[in-house]
Amino acid sequence: MARLIALAGLPGTGKSGIARRLAPRIGAMWLRIDSMDQAIWASPSAPRDLADWTYRAAQAVATDNLALGFDVLADCVNDCQASREGWEAAAQRADADMKWLEIVCSDPAEHRRRVETRTSDIAGLALPDWDAVARRAYDAWDRDRLIVDTAHRSLEACVDEAFALLGR
């Protein structure tokens, strides 16, 4: 059975770093919302606020690939119930297993440092500043999830933990 593994967490917690290394290790395709957003924004007719457009497109691509038997790793903030429900529906449509992996950084000072010093590997992508991250709404969880805390840990240790938590 194919698996949809949806990451969640505020910007700067380490989601994309983990996803980049975890996806090939588990044999999953990596759906990165930031790459999709930037590709859309490259169009002169794109609105600045994409609302849920990119999530919906990514969920459709995930459903197609899950139905083919491919595992999918969705790399996005997933800060609201509506986006979480969209991923759950994508997995259901493809009769796939659904796993949630929340990435957190429990040390606010370290999280802030990461946000303020990071650079993007996606040309043209504007990263949020600390004020935007700190005031961002993030809905409480109402479903099971696995959690990896990246505070004061190496990327490899976090990837190893995610791999072990996901099992098979």
What is the DSSP code string of 13-73? SSHHHHHHHHHHHHTEEEEEHHHHHHHHHTSTT--S--TTHHHHHHHHHHHHHHHTT-EEE
* Mean local confidence (pLDDT), 145-161: 98
pLDDT, tens digit (0-9, with 9 covering 90-100), for 97-149: 999 999 999 999 999 999 999 999 999 999 999 999 999 999 999 999 999 99
* Mean local confidence (pLDDT), 144-162: 98
CA–CA separation, 168 vs 163, rounded Å?
Answer: 9
Domains of the chain by range and CATH?
A: 3-166 (3.40.50.300)
Please tell me the number of Cα atoms within 13 Å of 37 on its side-chain side: 17
pLDDT, tens digit (0-9, with 9 covering 90-100), for 19-77: 999 999 999 999 999 999 999 999 999 999 998 999 999 999 999 999 999 999 999 99
Distances (CA, A) of 71 to 23, 74, 123: 9, 10, 27
> pTM for the full model?
0.96
Helix 81-93 crosses helix 53-67 at what angle (to 10 degrees)? 20
* Mean local confidence (pLDDT), 82-94: 98
Count of C-beta atoms within a 10 Å radius of residue 30:
16
